[in-house]
Amino acid sequence: MTATTVLSVILILAGGYLCFLSWWVFIRWLQYGKHTSWPPFLAGVLLAGGLALLPWDYLSRLWWLAFLLDYGSIPNVIVGLAVHVRRLSASTRRAGKGGRRCTRRDQGD
């Protein structure tokens, strides 16, 4: 086993553990509504680096899959954008026909 292989295995294990934790946080948020912060893209970067360093060409070409497997990476960005667009459209609908967005100051009037 070369040093590169050992490093790639360590990166894959660390990234896999953080990837598992990212999905666990997401599932807890769905179940209980509790949100915990985690570093975005960290698990994806570790997994991608580990996969890219593997000596087997058929596996090292799949480095980009790490960003899809980790919820803190691409899926998190997509869900975040969808939630943001939904909130914007809801606030625009509440504003009424005037086209003005509701703000917190407007709620006290």
Distance of CA 100 to the CA centre of its chain: 32
Give this prediction's pTM.
Answer: 0.69
Measured distance CA(92)–CA(99) in Å, rounded: 7
Record the tokens describing residue 89, joined without a space: 């459209």
Give the tens place of pLDDT for each residue, 39-75.
Answer: 778 899 999 999 999 999 988 899 999 988 888 888 8
Give the tens place of pLDDT for each residue, 87-99.
Answer: 888 777 766 555 5
Return mean pLDDT, the chain.
83
Region 20-35: what's the mean pLDDT? 85
Distances (CA, A) of 96 to 43, 87, 102, 105: 43, 15, 9, 16
